[in-house]
Amino acid sequence: MARPSADRAAELDGPAVRRLTRQSAAQRAVTTLGARIGDAWSTLVSVAIGLGLFGGWLNSVRDAVAGRSPGSGTALPSRVTAVAAGVVALAALTTLLDRLGPVSASPAAAAWWLPLPADRARLLRSELGRVAGTTAVTTALLCAPVAAVWSRPPSFSMVATTVLGGTAAPSGLVGAVALLQTRGHRGVLAPVTGAVAVGAGALAAGLAVAPWAGDALTAVSRHGFPEFGWLTAAIMVVAAAAVLIAADRGLGRLRAGTLRAAGTASAFAAASVFSLDTRDLGRALASAPRTPRTGRRLTLVRRPWQAVTAADLLLLSRSPWQCGQLVLATSVPVLAARTDGLDRLPAATAVGLLVGWLAAAVAVGHPARFAHAAPAIDRLLPLSSGQVVAARSVAPALVLTAVCGLSGLLVGVGSPSLLAWAALAVACVPAWTAAALRGAYRPELDWSGAVLASPMGVLPAGIGATLVQGIDVGVAGTLPLVVVVLTGAEPSPALVGVQFAWASCLAVAALTHLARRRAT
Amino acid sequence: MDDRPAAAELLLSTSELVVGHEGVQACAPVTIELPPAAALALIGPNGVGKSTVLHTLVGLLPPLAGEVEFDGEPVDERRSPFRRDVAQVLDDDAFFPSLTAREHLLLTARGHGVVDAETAVDDELAAFGIEDRAGALPTKLSSGQRRRLALAAAFVRPARLMVLDEPERRLDADMRQALAERLATARDDGLAVLFASHDAAFVQTVADQALLLGDEECRLLPPGDAPDALSGMHG
């Protein structure tokens, strides 16, 4: 058979390649124009309702804060906490972008588009635009209600400039990360931004409990923070546009191998989002454990259960992301309890404690999630299912004792019963240890069984009961402490005893159930 | 007399190329000199690094040391002329879920500016025995049919070098034979072929040289020795 001949002038350019693919797929699309308009309308209505609810909730928090007298101790100015939260959010976004590309090619695009002679920059331009646009719109939608509530009375100028800045900052961030990607520096930002996020959280928490910091920071926050006006927003927009243009000009330098790797990570992450499996999402976004310079000889390990515990502790110590998460998890309750305004709301402290400890439980469940993904690991040693669960709970319990104890101690700074707060927090450890294991070993969602229709599409029956596994034991096991926080009572030895007994009972029940389920 | 082709005649060349992933070397350094109208088979046991060598030669992986030249220029798959000249079927089993088999081939043919793309696509569908599956989506194709589709994409466009990773994989005996004969004919017509394979008969039909990859050394085998080396490898 004769080889085909080609006319270079007839080659498709990048946009034409995308258009041909889109048109071919559209020929057999089952969705009508009316259905698409309906989908778009229902999405708009859902977003509007969501934003309204979010704004209303923020407003009620603000009213609740305004309606209460200031706390007795010194507190961290809310602007400092907001800045720290902003830094953590931007660092998280940067890390996500760095992990997923931000410019990538799906496995199909890598196989069928990238080998074509079409100019690569033009082929990838809409991908960069899609990532920047999605990030900008999402951030703008989140910024709008925050700005509306922040400015009292609501000011159009404040909302508009915040939304403009909130759109420009992430767009510029996408451009900056893409620019680095085009220079061959994909993956170098994530460790830096991760360290920045952890540093910002820890610094803010440290300032929140430093006795000398409160007054100084209050003075700085009154005079030292520049107002965010139209000029700042305009500068941000221009800077973001400049960075995006620079990134666009470098798209032709991206190698197929890099695009393919980023596309595979993105596809895995997207699949885990759509399958509602947060464990898979964590695996898609996580980095590999750090390679140690020298191996440990594990001379203290004498029995099989000690091998499990030692392996878990080693894995945690070599997982920088989980270590960083533990630092942030310790900081969250402190910031919730000691930020000016929030310190007047006991509910904020309770939520801060639950959110922080949940984050810590997720971090210490890392080795168990590994074992869940590779069941052979748990079968390597001569241990029954119950013994494996017991052995795997040692490392989480040790680490959570440190996290809960420290955060409880810092939350209690200024209280006459400082150590009692720490003891009360440590008494919650059994529940969060069980939560870590229950969450890590929770069963997969069964998409082959009965399904439910929901506004988000079809979902498997029992999804709620499956997804809350882990959180349920942690939250329920912390109820005595939550009651103490909400009622403003001072913790006593009796309360500590009640908390420990309650958390231990729940933990034993949950871990026994887990061991039985894994044995069958 | 030295019968090695002069540098100017070489299409693909590399000397003492070190390949691997994340700094870990996959096999001994590789030296390749491939002129037009020649076929070189990479052979060796599983995991020795055949696919890594192929990915590095076409610029999908950076070499740990050394440089690859195509047509006298360093290989850079970001350059359109390189992609225009090199057709490759590596380990991808990825397809657009909403495009039929025929549309995948049309995308490739039109992307390369093939004259009378429709006819070229129909010819390749027939040559690979999937003309009756032309309108099927990838999810409706068997594993072997998807492999045929991927191979057809390499033939539906012009190329000076074809790089294939185990082209015989997932093909039945008749299709293996047909593909081998077609590659041999294309080679005789001027196409350079570089492929990895475990199939002794395929290697014997297509290749006029074989490079045996190993951890200690990579050595060029005389044309007739490749089948024996492969037989020894697979018991």
Q: Is residue B146 part of a domain?
A: no
Residues of A in contact with B158 (CB under 8 A): 3-6
Confidence (pLDDT) at A10: 92
Query: Quick one: average pLDDT of B188-199?
Result: 94
Q: What is the end-to-end Cα distance of chain B in Å, rounded?
A: 37
Helices (H) and strands (E) in chain B, counts: 8, 12
**ipTM of this complex:** 0.92
What are the tokens at A84? 């720290």
Confidence (pLDDT) at A459: 75
Could you tell me the pLDDT band of residue B158, with boundaries at 50, 70 and 90? very high
pLDDT above 80: residue A157: yes
Q: Does B84 touch chain A (CB under 8 A)?
A: yes
Q: Is residue B133 part of a domain?
A: no
Q: Which of A13, A20, A24 should be substituted to probe chain B, the one whose Cβ sees the most B Cβ atoms within 10 Å?
A: A24
Phi and psi (nearest 5°) for A172? -65, -35
Cα A118 from Cα A126, distance rounded (Å): 14
pLDDT tens for B122-148 read 999 999 999 999 999 999 999 999 999
Helix (H), strand (E), coil (C) string for A446-478: CCCCCEEEECCEEEECCHHHHHCCCHHHHHHHC
- Smallest Cβ distance to A4: which of B88, B106, B156? B156
- Smallest Cβ distance to A117: which of B97, B112, B156? B112
Query: Quick one: average pLDDT of A259-279?
Result: 82
pLDDT tens for A475-489 read 999 999 999 999 988
Distance from CA of A308 to the nearest CA of B (A): 29
pLDDT tens for B59-100 read 999 999 999 999 999 999 999 999 999 999 997 789 999 899
Cis peptide before A320 (omega within 30 of 0): no
Nearest CA in chain A to B124: A1
DSSP string covering B93-158, please? ----TTS-HHHHHHHHHHHTTBTTHHHHHHHHHHHTT-GGGTT--GGGS-HHHHHHHHHHHHHSS-
Q: How far is CA A152 from CA A59, A159, A345, B177, in A?
A: 10, 11, 20, 79
Inter-chain residue contact A10 with B115, CB threshold 8 Å: yes
Q: Which amino acid is at B41?
A: A
Q: Is residue B108 part of a domain?
A: no
The H or E element that residue A17 is part of is helix A14-26
Inter-chain residue contact A111 with B94, CB threshold 8 Å: yes
Q: Is residue B121 part of a domain?
A: no
Predicted TM-score (pTM) of the model is 0.79
Cis peptide before A289 (omega within 30 of 0): no
- Smallest Cβ distance to A24: which of B99, B108, B109? B99
Helix (H), strand (E), coil (C) string for A340-355: CCHHHCHHHHHHHHHH
Cα A361 from Cα A344, distance rounded (Å): 27
pLDDT tens for A22-48 read 998 888 777 777 887 887 788 788 878
Q: Does B189 touch chain A (CB under 8 A)?
A: yes
Q: Does B182 touch chain A (CB under 8 A)?
A: yes
pLDDT tens for A508-520 read 999 999 999 888 7
Q: Does B136 touch chain A (CB under 8 A)?
A: no
**Overall domain count for chain B:** 1
Cα A62 from Cα A59, distance rounded (Å): 5
Could you tell me the pLDDT band of residue A114, with boundaries at 50, 70 and 90? very high
pLDDT above 90: residue A331: yes
Distance from CA of B235 to the nearest CA of A (A): 31
CB within 8 Å of B110: residues ≥ 6 apart: A10, A12, A20, B117
Distance from CA of B2 to the nearest CA of A (A): 32
Q: Does A253 touch chain B (CB under 8 A)?
A: yes
CATH of the domain at B88: 3.40.50.300
**Cα A500 to the chain's mean position, in Å?**
29
Distance from CA of B25 to the nearest CA of A (A): 17
Inter-chain residue contact A255 with B77, CB threshold 8 Å: yes
Q: Is residue B22 part of a domain?
A: yes
- Smallest Cβ distance to B111: which of A5, A11, A252? A11
pLDDT tens for A298-312 read 777 788 888 899 989
Q: Is residue B183 part of a domain?
A: yes
What are the tokens at A395? 């490392």
Inter-chain residue contact A115 with B88, CB threshold 8 Å: yes
Which B residues, 19 through 78, put their C-beta within 8 Å of a C-beta on chain A?
55, 59-62, 77-78
- Domain span holding position B84: 7-95+160-233
Inter-chain residue contact B78 with A254, CB threshold 8 Å: yes
Q: Does B127 touch chain A (CB under 8 A)?
A: yes
Inter-chain residue contact A24 with B107, CB threshold 8 Å: yes
Confidence (pLDDT) at B2: 47
Residues of A in contact with B55 (CB under 8 A): 257
Query: What average pLDDT is seen over chain B?
Result: 90
Confidence (pLDDT) at A224: 53
CA A136, A138, A140, A143 dihedral sign is negative
Confidence (pLDDT) at A81: 87
Q: Is residue B195 part of a domain?
A: yes
What are the tokens at B117? 């793309």
DSSP string covering A269-295, please? HHHHHHTT-HHHHHHHHPPPPPPPSS-
The radius of gyration of chain B's CA atoms, rounded to the nearest angstrom, is 18
Residues of A in contact with B162 (CB under 8 A): none
Query: Quick one: average pLDDT of A157-172?
Result: 87
Q: Does B154 touch chain A (CB under 8 A)?
A: no
Q: Is A425 exposed, middle or buried (0-12, 13-18, 19+ CB in 10 A)?
A: buried
pLDDT above 90: residue A109: yes
pLDDT tens for A394-413 read 999 999 999 999 999 988 88
pLDDT tens for A342-376 read 888 889 999 999 999 999 999 999 999 888 888 88
- Smallest Cβ distance to A117: which of B55, B84, B127? B84
Residues of B in contact with A108 (CB under 8 A): 94-97
